Structure 1
Amino acid sequence: MKRIGVIGGGQLAWMMASAAQELGIELVIQTPHDTDVAVSLATEIVLADVDDVAATAILATKCDAITFENEFVDLEGLDKLAIAQNVSFLPPLTALAPLLDKYTQRCYLRDLGLPVPQFAVLEQPELPPGFEFPVVIKARRNGYDGQGTFIVKDASVLAALYHRYPDTPFLIEEFVKFDRELAVIAARGVNGEVITYPILETQQEDQVCRRVFTLDDLPTEIVATCNSIASKLLTSLGAVGVFGIELFLTADGKVSVNEIAPRTHNSGHLTIEACATSQFSQLIRAVAGLPFGSTALTCGGAVMVNLLGYEDTHSDYPDKRQQLAAIPNAHVHWYAKESRIGRKLGHVTIVVGRDDEHQDYLSQAQSLARQVETIWYP
């Protein structure tokens, strides 16, 4: 396979394109703006919205298979296109179908026997039977980076939210009193092989990922449970590609599934520097039918910090980026986006060694994360 199409042209596609170049594979991008960050590395561009099926038909004539940067697509239209033009979508559209709506995703996971929080469709502005405050309310489609997710603590807020978005279908979930949030980055190849990366811990603020850490203190049974969930899910879906699986871990050691992203994921960005093969290279390998690379850590550990916009500005923060780059073993990835409050503008990964002076890896990693955030945020 020499050419892969990607629906989407943001930072995930940009990092895919860099990995594809290393493997000698060209990427053709379908994206709405010629200023989108992936355009600079793409071999060819189809300028169109990601849900423009007619544009995807053109994209299909320029590549051997098509993968996805995000899931905001017209699945029904793509299904007709796949039949009409014999287009190879990877992950297959049948793997995406149960996941794009958060309610059907929850049902799929439950029916597969995987642990999930209590959930229901929110059909009226009050708690369904069996729920108690606080609860989590999620838009069933197109939510990301905290958008469309609300933690609701009382009846008045629930009623106000319901009436504020009268046309938005919502899912209601129990609020899980987790001890840690974990993430598994997993890949499945065309031959059915499933591989997983080292389990990660993510830290969220306002439902947006702020920091990601590699871990060295998880009990082996927790690691095995997380990897088993990933393998069972990807195998059941018949997936081909890379998936991000977000998990809750409670203080008593119980693991449940939070959400599934059927693509490369923010929590896996540190694999670029910390692992033998990045999640982006693994995706290209999966789609192209190439052997997987090793997922092993190549360092003692790593921490990744998202650089979120804290003001609306055209500035690209050159001074702060220079300070971040001066941190030993830091790698700054800048997405060349216009700054908006809460928008992911880039990320910093710092690889960490192991020595006698720093036996407590997590404490060291957390200190480095604070150093990054002290520089970045006013």
Structure 2
Amino acid sequence: MVNPTQKRIGIIGGGQLAWMLGLAARDVGITVVVQTPNATDSAVTIADEVIYAPIDDLAATQALGQKVDVITFENEFVDLVGLQRLADTGVCFRPSLSSLTPLLDKLDQRQFLASLGLPVPKFVGADHVSTIAGLTQKFQFPVVIKARRHGYDGQGTFVIKDAGAWDVFWQAHPDFKPFLVEAFVPFRCELGMMAARSTSGEIALHPLVETQQENQVCRRVIAPAKASLEMITQAQAMAATLLEALDFVGILGIEFFLTDADQLLINEIAPRTHNSGHYTIEACHTSQFAQHLLAITGRGLGNPGLQSPAAVMINLLGFETATSDYGEKRQTLSQIPQATVHWYGKTQAYPGRKLGHVTVLLHNQEPETMTKTLSQIESIWYS
């Protein structure tokens, strides 16, 4: 168990997730050392110390381990085999490498979830359906092809509508093994939940929220989701089962599909803080970032509940290729009642890049109120 009097954590990765984690660490007196390659990375501005190195530089991570009590991760693009050599020498990683192992490869993740009896879309390794004949025995078009590693924000995900598109894809990607194939799910909506577990096994679950994607990138989050008590209870049970089976310490994000038949399917697991949980900074008693810190430093977890009747979070996505801090737009957004603007310090914009987010606390859960607020923010940002 981490010595709570030492309060030193290392973060591998220096983007906006590490930045927000570092801001939360300041509030509870935790020292942060970041391993990241660039002085312009977001987390550099809040770190107590920085080791400038690529996130897969094991020598740098070994040096990081000598400076801190526990190391955590901003993203899941890590070398588990290399890190295990450091863990064998006593470097403490939370979440543990063993809990990450079933999650980093999407095919492994699907197989692990299925082994727990958790509902997922129908899937198979792409090399098992490499021909149209093999495919049509298992799936109907459209199907979804996903990269097994290093895919996020829609990268590495391809919707294949017909046999012609299937042939074109594999002509461009002759190696089947790095991909999995899934049934296309005609979902009613997408839902998300941040779920945390401490070193003592305590579990805390943030509210179930609705996430709205465009071009496979999260654009809006509505908290709480409009869902029945039965649906919320089912999602909570899935989260608890997953955390316990992994012996997970820290916070993870769970993405769900809600089908037209009211079936809840797990889409993906992100073993870290997650974009769909940014609303928790203002809207919940304990944010996803504070909760993760409490978990990995061996403390009791905080109250994950909402402290406002409702909230919406809108990602400020790049809409042009430009060099700008969009100060005027941010100032206008900040004048919306109960709005908080988070800017990630990125001055280089390009379409789809996450430049910041806005969270607005609401006095009620009326759909009209939420729609009006979302439209107001997006009309300001994208005008």
For the superposition of Structure 1 and Structure 2, which TM-score range results when normalised by the shorter chain?
over 0.9
Q: Name the structure 2 match of 1:226.
A: 235
1:308-347 alignment to 2 at 5 Å? 308-337=317-346, 338-347=348-357
Unmatched 5+ stretches in structure 2:
none
Q: Distance in 1 between matches of 2:30 and 2:274?
A: 21
Tell me how large the CA RMSD over aligned residues is.
1.2
Once the two structures are superposed, residues 169-208 of structure 1 have per-residue CA deviations (whole angstroms, 9 ceiling, x without a partner) of 1111001111111101000000011110110000011111
Q: Distance in 1 between matches of 2:354 and 2:173?
A: 25
Shift of 1:251: 2.4
* 1:257 aligns to 2:266 (yes or no): yes
Q: Name the structure 1 match of 2:221.
A: 212
Of the candidates 57, 61, 64, which is equivalent to residue 62 of structure 2?
Answer: 57
Q: Distance in 2 between matches of 1:132 and 1:54?
A: 48
Q: Distance in 1 between matches of 2:60 and 2:12?
A: 10
Once the two structures are superposed, residues 243-274 of structure 1 have per-residue CA deviations (whole angstroms, 9 ceiling, x without a partner) of 00000111222111000000001000000000
For residue 322 of structure 2, give the secondary structure of its aligned residue in structure 1.
Answer: coil
Of the candidates 117, 121, 124, which is equivalent to residue 125 of structure 2?
Answer: 121
> 1:215·1:362 contact (CA, 8 Å) conserved in 2?
no
Q: How many residues matched?
A: 372
For residue 246 of structure 1, give the secondary structure of its aligned residue in structure 2.
Answer: strand
Q: Name the structure 1 match of 2:50.
A: 45
Q: Name the structure 1 match of 2:171.
A: 163
* 1:34 aligns to 2:39 (yes or no): yes
Q: Distance in 1 between matches of 2:213 and 2:207?
A: 19
Shift of 1:152: 1.4
Normalised by the size of structure 2, how large is the TM-score?
0.95
* 1:146 aligns to 2:154 (yes or no): yes
Q: Name the structure 1 match of 2:106.
A: 102
> 2:209·2:225 contact (CA, 8 Å) conserved in 1?
no
Of the candidates 245, 251, 256, which is equivalent to residue 242 of structure 1?
Answer: 251
Q: Name the structure 2 match of 1:365.
A: 370
1:226-305 alignment to 2 at 5 Å? 226-305=235-314
Q: Name the structure 2 match of 1:134.
A: 142
> 1:37·1:335 contact (CA, 8 Å) conserved in 2?
yes
Q: Distance in 2 between matches of 1:94 and 1:147?
A: 26
Q: Distance in 2 between matches of 1:317 and 1:125?
A: 49
Shift of 1:162: 2.1
For residue 290 of structure 2, give the secondary structure of its aligned residue in structure 1.
Answer: helix
Q: Name the structure 1 match of 2:26.
A: 21
For residue 332 of structure 1, give the secondary structure of its aligned residue in structure 2.
Answer: strand
> 1:71·1:262 contact (CA, 8 Å) conserved in 2?
yes
Q: 1:125 to 1:45 in 2, by over 3 A?
A: farther
Shift of 1:322: 1.2
Q: Distance in 1 between matches of 2:359 and 2:175?
A: 40
Q: Distance in 2 between matches of 1:246 and 1:146?
A: 13
> 1:27·1:43 contact (CA, 8 Å) conserved in 2?
yes
Q: Distance in 2 between matches of 1:163 and 1:6?
A: 40
Shift of 1:215: 2.4
Shift of 1:216: 5.7
Q: Distance in 1 between matches of 2:323 and 2:285?
A: 36
Q: 1:205 to 1:114 in 2, by over 3 A?
A: same
> 1:134·1:175 contact (CA, 8 Å) conserved in 2?
yes
Amino acid at match of 2:68: C
> 2:208·2:225 contact (CA, 8 Å) conserved in 1?
no
Q: Distance in 2 between matches of 1:164 and 1:216?
A: 40
For residue 290 of structure 1, give the secondary structure of its aligned residue in structure 2.
Answer: coil
Of the candidates 95, 111, 115, which is equivalent to residue 111 of structure 1?
Answer: 115
For residue 149 of structure 2, give the secondary structure of its aligned residue in structure 1.
Answer: coil
Shift of 1:165: 3.1
Q: Distance in 2 between matches of 1:216 and 1:74?
A: 36
Q: Distance in 1 between matches of 2:329 and 2:166?
A: 40
Identical-pair percentage: 52
Shift of 1:119: 0.2
Deviates more, 1:159-168 or 1:48-57: 159-168
